[in-house]
Amino acid sequence: MKKLVLIIMGVTLFLSVNSDVQRKQIRSGDYDIVCYVALKEIKHFIEGREYFWFKTGEIHNSISQSGGLVLHNEYEKFYRSRQLAEKGNFDYGLKDGEWRTWHENGNIQSISTWKNGQKNGLFLSYDEDGTKIQSGTYNNNEKTKLWINHKLKDTVYYKGDSAFSAKPKSKLKGFFNRIFKKRDSTERAQRKLELQLKRRTDSIERIQRKQERQIKKEKGKKTE
């Protein structure tokens, strides 16, 4: 029996020493948090990204750096009622994958997609009654393409740093439209010119025929 206990203790010690992560349970304000931290030190950070890390019993966040053990793997935050408030995953301090938040009544509040600490992909938000408020897409933390405000029944299209009430035409499409428009305009002008030349030619031929008839008529009078 004593030998078995020693074996269990040895296995537990081995696992604790060789584990890559460590579980943390934290009380922060009105929330209880269960998360994991990476035990290995991170030496290289991505510039401009927000890192989340643990030190002295609290979770901190900073840009492009960490002052403690970075959060890694699963993350869960609960209201005091034990209702889940937020859930997601960290990849060595950076939010990654799908993240969800909930209202205290249990209804979903938001769904977002992250990659390497930046929002990338679909975003949805809901009010406490479960009614959809907003939907859209992020690309590297910036709103892109069509965004819908479902309550106001309003749409905004994002492209680069600009927002539009409708999808903007691409420069390439506009370039080709201008080419074809110019081509159509040239063709119309050419057809108009050809028509004018034809009318002028017909007019000259009519005058010539009229003159020929007049000459013949005069010759006929002299012959008489």
Q: Are 89 and 75 contacting, i.e. CB atoms less than 8 angstroms apart?
A: yes
Q: What is the CATH classification number for the domain harbouring 80?
A: 3.90.930
Would you give the distance in Å from CA 36 to the centre of its chain? 30
Whether 98 and 155 map to the same domain: the answer is yes
pLDDT at site 41: 86
Whether 66 and 114 map to the same domain: the answer is yes
Q: Give the span between the Cα atoms of 89 and 35, in whole angstroms.
A: 9
Whether 63 and 174 map to the same domain: the answer is no
Kindly state the average pLDDT of the residues 43-67. Answer: 96
If you average pLDDT over every residue of the chain, what do you get?
82
Whether 176 and 162 map to the same domain: the answer is no
Please give the model's pTM, rounded to 2 decimal places. Answer: 0.66
Of 164, 130, 114, 125, nearest to 144 (Cα)? 164
Assigned domain for 218 exists: no
Assigned domain for 2 exists: no
- pLDDT, tens digit, 9 for 90 and up, residues 10-38: 444 443 444 799 999 999 999 999 999 99
Assigned domain for 63 exists: yes
Whether 138 and 75 map to the same domain: the answer is yes
Kindly state the average pLDDT of the residues 174-201. Answer: 58
Whether 96 and 142 map to the same domain: the answer is yes
Assigned domain for 114 exists: yes
Whether 189 and 121 map to the same domain: the answer is no
User: Quick one: the chain helix, strand, coil %, rounded to 5?
Assistant: 30, 45, 25
Beta bridge pairs of residue 26: 33
Containing domain of residue 178, as a range?
Answer: 170-211
Whether 174 and 91 map to the same domain: the answer is no
The pLDDT-based confidence of 208 (bands split at 50, 70, 90) is low
Assigned domain for 7 exists: no
Whether 105 and 37 map to the same domain: the answer is yes
- For residues 113-131, one letter each, b for 16 or more C-beta atoms within 10 angstroms of the residue's C-beta and e for the rest, the string is bbeebbbbeebbbbeeeee
Whether 128 and 175 map to the same domain: the answer is no
Least confident of 5-9, 189-193, 194-198: 5-9
Kindly state the average pLDDT of the residues 94-122. Answer: 97
Assigned domain for 103 exists: yes
Q: Give the span between the Cα atoms of 120 and 114, in whole angstroms.
A: 5
When divided into structural domains, the chain yields a total of 2
Whether 121 and 198 map to the same domain: the answer is no
* Strand, helix or coil for residue 79: strand
Assigned domain for 198 exists: yes
Looking at the predicted structure, is the pLDDT value of residue 59 above 90?
yes
Whether 126 and 188 map to the same domain: the answer is no
More confident of the two residues 115 and 2: 115
Kindly state the average pLDDT of the residues 34-49. Answer: 94
The pLDDT-based confidence of 191 (bands split at 50, 70, 90) is confident
Assigned domain for 4 exists: no
